[in-house]
Structure 1
Amino acid sequence: MDINKLLNNKDEKICVVIPAYRVASHIENVIKGIPDWVWRIIVVDDKSPDDLAARVESLKDDRVDLIRHEHNQGVGGAVISGCNRALELGATILIKMDGDGQMDPAFLPEILEPILTGTADFVKGNRFGRLESITRMPFHRRMGNLFWSFMAKLGSGYWNVFDPNNGYLALDADVYQRLDKKQLHPRYFFETSLLVELNIIRAVAREVPMPAIYAGEPSSLSVVQVVTTFPGLLISHFLRRVWLQYFVLSFSVGTIFLSLGSLMSLFGIIWGVVWWYRSITTGIPATAGTVMVASLPLILGFQMLLQALTLDVQSIPTEPLSKITGLRRARIQQKSDR
């Protein structure tokens, strides 16, 4: 199927959302680089202190819809405002691009193809999909992204997504409507929280390899900010996902392994600590039986938790959720039969 025909299909209303803050020097080129087949471009001025809004308005592009926040809401808050506006206008596909010029619009067709062909609900760029992209990435970003990628896989349950922090993404509008918007983080944890909420509703996610573009600009994320805020946010969203997926919305073998594994591991740890403390304070070594009472539940509990993790990896959503998926597949089938 010719991707250009899908992109220019009048039934699809593709909307690009650009959260913008302190990117006045880049925003004009970013908007000019967006292809003509994009139906709307929504720029969200997140209380930027520069002349960003004036530069956007000077372009005189009829596709552009400018939203101006009275208070800075963060990148997540800006994206949510833009997506909500796109839904009001009637968009069928939402694309998030940053305003700093790091996201090449040439990859838009590749990002959109899985959604347009009815094989995915959500698509992200993957900066680790090509070796040359990895070698170009600054070392500290590479290490930080690799570590956080693994943690985000665990938190979101999308084990097939290798670059969860990549903000270049496309999302079916119908699927976005089903999300619990209150759970989407308003700032830099937005992408990860979005993945968690998408997995809770069982949306299908895909990735598209693309290069990372760096022009020497400093990252707006500090190491202190990441270390002090991200772990707590990830744990809370992980617990929310596990609770909903394994105890509220469904009950499976994974639920049993997770429950028994957690209880047995907790018992083994508590029992071992108590008797270790008694041995230290009394000077009397614990008996072999006492040690076994602690170690056996720990070993079995750990094995059960590993099995629960394996089942979680295998339970990645595979069937697209969007109600428009069937229409897209039928449309392609009709054209292929001609």
Structure 2
Amino acid sequence: MKLIVQIPCLNEEESIARTIRDIPRCIPGVDRVEVLVIDDGSSDRTAEIAIDNGADHIVCLDKTRGLGEAFLSGIKTALALGADIIVNTDGDNQYRGKDIPGIIKPILEKEAEIVIGDRRVRTMKQFSPLKRQLQILGNFVVRRASGTPVYDATSGFRAISREAALKLNLKAKFSHTIETILFAARENITLTTIPIETNLTLRPSRLAPNMWSFIIHSIAPIIQTYFFRRHNA
């Protein structure tokens, strides 16, 4: 059983070393753990520092293409490298490596094909009151549209089985998070969540789109999925 932890990042030279070192290399039920860094056109030493700190594979995109394309590039590379499970995490060290065994457990036990780490948005002090309320509303809309038990649709910490990853057909340039959930709903891919804790980050992600851009780009796929499910109910 081979696990590849992929880290899409942009100009994360200050945090990528901590992120990589935090990833456990020995996990029950897994024979091999490898780290894949997708450098989305960084202008700093992100790729160099990643290699120096133990990254097994580096993909350097020719220019900054956005979180969605960096995520998909990682998925394709991980599949080509023979991954049985892929975990996606962020290069800013927001997510804890110690949660990786827990997030892959439902896949190892054949209970789900996609697992999302739930940051419990209602209690996140890192979010402003406005962002927290918008997250709560957005999560409600995604749950209704997709019929999935997701309370943190924008969490970037998630595990995907090889079988589910092979089916992924995403189009989002800016973010993969919500579109992956909607795709799972349309394709009847089993999805679950687990609660996680997060590290305190000092700044917003450089790869994630701003809040209003994210909302605008999410409206169409949410509506499409809602009517798709109604039509096929």
TM-score category by the smaller chain? 0.7 to 0.9
Distance in 2 separating the partners of 1:176 and 1:26 = 27
Would the alpha carbon gap of residues 165 and 224 (structure 1) be closer, same or farther in structure 2, given more than 3 Å must change? closer
1:185 alignment partner in structure 2:
172
1:45-71 Cα distance to aligned partner (Å, 9 max, x none): 000122111212223x3x510000012
CA contact (8 A) 1:193 1:237 kept: no
3-state SS of the aligned residue for 1:136? coil
CA–CA separation in structure 2 for the residues paired with 1:233 and 1:97 = 23
User: What is the CA–CA distance in structure 1 between the aligned matches of 2:197 and 2:110, rounded to whole Å?
Assistant: 25
Alpha-carbon distance between aligned partners in 1 of 2:215 and 2:2, rounded to the nearest angstrom: 40
- CA positional deviation for 1:40: 1.4
Q: Aligned-residue CA RMSD in angstroms?
A: 2.1
Aligned equivalents of 1:89, 1:223: Cα separation in 2: 34
Q: Counterpart in 1 of 2:143?
A: 153
Tell me: CA distance 1:186–1:238, structure 2 relative to 1, closer, same or farther (3 Å): farther
The count of residues paired between Structure 1 and Structure 2 equals 225
What is the rounded CA distance, in whole Å, between the counterparts of 2:33 and 2:204 in structure 1? 32
Q: Hey, what does 1:122 align to over in structure 2?
A: 114
With structure 2 as the length reference, what TM-score do the two structures score? 0.87
Shift of 1:15: 0.6
For residues 309-320 of structure 1, the aligned pairs below 5 Å read none
Question: 2:83 is matched with which residue: 59, 84, 91?
Answer: 91
Q: Structure 1 regions of 5+ residues with no counterpart?
A: 1-11, 247-253, 255-338
Partner amino acid for 2:66?
G
Question: Partner of 1:83: helix, strand, or coil?
Answer: helix
Q: 1:196 aligns with which of 179, 182, 192?
A: 182
- 3-state SS of the aligned residue for 2:110? coil
Matched residue SS, 1:14:
strand
Q: Is residue 2:49 matched to residue 1:55?
A: yes
Deviation string, structure 1 residues 183-208 (Cα, Å, up to 9, x no partner): 341212x1111111112221111111
Q: Deviations over 1:230-250 (max 9, x none)?
A: 3234324444x337x61xxxx
**Which runs of no fewer than 5 residues in structure 2 stay unpaired?**
27-31
Higher helix residue share: 1
Please state whether the residue corresponding to 1:94 is helix, strand or coil.
strand
Q: Higher relative contact order by CA 8 Å / sep ≥ 6: 1 or 2?
A: 2
Distance 1:71 1:187, change over 3 A: same
Measure the CA separation in 2 of the matches of 1:30 and 1:227. Answer: 28
Aligned counterparts of 2:99 and 2:158: Cα–Cα separation in 1: 11
Tell me, what secondary structure is at the counterpart of 1:25?
A: coil
Bigger CA radius of gyration: 1
Give secondary structure in 2 for the equivalent of 1:108: helix
Tell me the SS of whatever aligns to 1:36.
coil
- For residue 105 of structure 1, what is the aligned residue in structure 2? 97
How far, CA to CA, are the matches of 1:238 and 1:125 in structure 2?
Answer: 23
- Residues 157 and 196 of structure 1 are in contact (CA less than 8 Å); yes or no, is this contact kept in structure 2? no
Deviation at 1:137, TM superposition (A): 4.0
* 1:42 correspondence with 2:36: yes
CA displacement 1:7-45 (0-9 Å, x = unmatched): xxxxx1011011011211100111111111352111000
